[in-house]
Amino acid sequence: MNALDALNHLANLLLPALLLGGIAALGAKGLWRRELQGTPWLRLAAWASGGALLALIGGLVLSGRDGSMATYAAMVLACAAALGWAGWGRR
């Protein structure tokens, strides 16, 4: 495996968590427009993606492989918790 293949594998590993965080932040800003008016979208996306990434790496370490449904469920829960923390918890 050369460096370009390794970079491709790493990007494909991390992309679901990053997309989940961005889409969840966009949805939260759309659903709770008034409540999250003062919170920037980038902050929400960064917190949500960070939570999902931590869950993804934790699931990879615990299960030993990528793509486990339990890991994806943990990603969704961590993303929701991070959105709640970033949007409403720290004011």
In order along the chain (91 residues), what is the average pLDDT of each group of 10 residues? 92 94 96 91 95 95 90 96 86 54
Q: Which residue has the tokens 């993606």?
A: 49
- Tell whether pTM > 0.85: yes
Give the residue extent of every domain in the chain: 3-89
- Residue 16 zone, left/alpha/beta (φ > 0; ψ -120 to 50; rest): alpha
pLDDT in tens, 38-56: 899 999 999 999 999 999 9
